[in-house]
Amino acid sequence: MSEHGATVITRDFGKADREHARKLATLIGELEAHQDDVLKNPGKYLKEASDRMLELLTQVRAAQDALLEVVSWKFDDGAELHTMEVVTVDKRRWDRMQRATDLLEAIKT
């Protein structure tokens, strides 16, 4: 309620719906224009896709190298046994880690 005891009721008479419809029509028009451009100039989009795939492949290889480095890590010959920590892991988790290690080793070869 306002100071004078009157309540203001706002009505948009469908304005929000019309704005949403207009925005949807604009987006559909942009989508159609993009589809037309893809059909007219496929080489540009194929090049972009190829570049992106190469980038992703490079990232995957870097991740594989990092994982293989961790998997192939061994103690130095000078490491002493008493410096190792004992970690308790449940059997199911240990089996999953072993499978992951086996998969990484298979990738390595």
Token duo for residue 45: 């989009």
45-80 pLDDT, tens per residue? 999 999 999 999 988 888 888 777 776 665 445 555
Count the domains in the chain: 1
Q: Is 35 inside a domain boundary? A: yes
Model-level pTM? 0.43
100: domain range? Answer: 15-108
Q: What is the C-alpha to C-alpha distance for residues 19 and 30, in angstroms, rounded to an integer?
A: 17
Query: Which position has the token pair 């893809």?
Result: 38
For residues 61 and 54, the answer to whether their CB atoms sit within 8 Å is no
Q: Is 62 inside a domain boundary? A: yes
pLDDT score of 86 more than 80: no
Q: End-to-end distance of the chain based on CA atoms, in angstroms?
A: 76
